[in-house]
Chain A
Amino acid sequence: GAVVSQHPSRVICKSGTSVKIECRSLDFQATTMFWYRQFPKKSLMLMATSNEGSKATYEQGVEKDKFLINHASLTLSTLTVTSAHPEDSSFYICSASRNLGDTEAFFGQGTRLTVV
């Protein structure tokens, strides 16, 4: 199956700093990538849809200036958590689809962000 890789898998940062998380599709090109957030013992919540070459689409309640998404190539999307605070601590997961209209999504292994 297709492989999606996230980096880093774990990161600890200080309050007020910014953290960048990368999501790469390793063996296919992804025109669309998705970013999810998961709190402990909770489900995944879609944050935004990352579109190659255009602006990301954010879900209601997700601050676009707080969570910057860049999808500069067909194999890489990045999520930057700006001015991080302890409440931003969470598990961030990306997924990618090979083609527009392709409903099967491949997930990365997730990034555990801890803001201290």
Chain B
Amino acid sequence: GESVGLHLPTLSVQEGDNSIINCAYSNSASDYFIWYKQESGKGPQFIIDIRSNMDKRQGQRVTVLLNKTVKHLSLQIAATQPGDSAVYFCAENRGGGADGLTFGKGTHLIIQP
């Protein structure tokens, strides 16, 4: 079955506000997690990743938090912009570069003007 899932299918936020997208995973052996952004009709675009030996990682306007105790992953986007509107997927690598990714269901982020 699917080991990575999302709490909310749709999230609507005002432009300029911060957004938080959540993800739950079930495979405690997963050691690498990634957030992807997918716009309509396009392939996933890498946003940020985190390894299981970390609990926080920051990028430009984005922060990923990993809570291994409760198997929870979140993506924080600061000062959202219209271009942030997309579907966001969390994914886990099951171990090693030879394995493909297991994707969560996705959250559709809508930025309201």
Determine whether the beta carbon of A46 is less than 8 Å from that of B44. no
Option from B36, B46, B97 in Cβ contact (under 8 Å) with A100: B97
Q: Is A45 interfacial (CB 8 A cutoff)?
A: yes
Total interface residues in chain A, CB < 8 Å: 30
Q: Is A36 interfacial (CB 8 A cutoff)?
A: yes
Determine whether the beta carbon of B97 is less than 8 Å from that of A32. yes
How many residue pairs bridge A and B at CB < 8 Å?
68
| CB-CB nearest in chain B for A1 | B46
Contact indicator per residue, chain A 37-54, by CB within 8 Å of chain B (1) or not (0) = 000001111100100000
Once the chains are docked, how many angstroms separate the CA of A46 from the CA of B92?
Answer: 12
Q: Is A97 interfacial (CB 8 A cutoff)?
A: yes
A43-B89, A101-B96, A104-B49 known; A109 and B101 CB under 8 Å?
A: no
Contact indicator per residue, chain A 14-45, by CB within 8 Å of chain B (1) or not (0) = 00000000000000000010101000001111
Q: For B42, what are the chain A residues with a Cβ–Cβ distance below 8 Å?
A: 109-110
| CB-CB nearest in chain A for B5 | A43
Listed stretches B14-22, B53-61, B62-70, B103-111; interface member? B103-111
Once the chains are docked, how many angstroms separate the CA of A26 from the CA of B99?
Answer: 22
Once the chains are docked, how many angstroms separate the CA of A109 from the CA of B43?
Answer: 4
Q: For B97, what are the chain A residues with a Cβ–Cβ distance below 8 Å?
A: 32, 97, 99-103
A residues in contact (CB < 8 Å) with B: 1, 4, 6, 32, 34, 36, 42-46, 49, 59, 91, 93, 95, 97, 99-110, 112
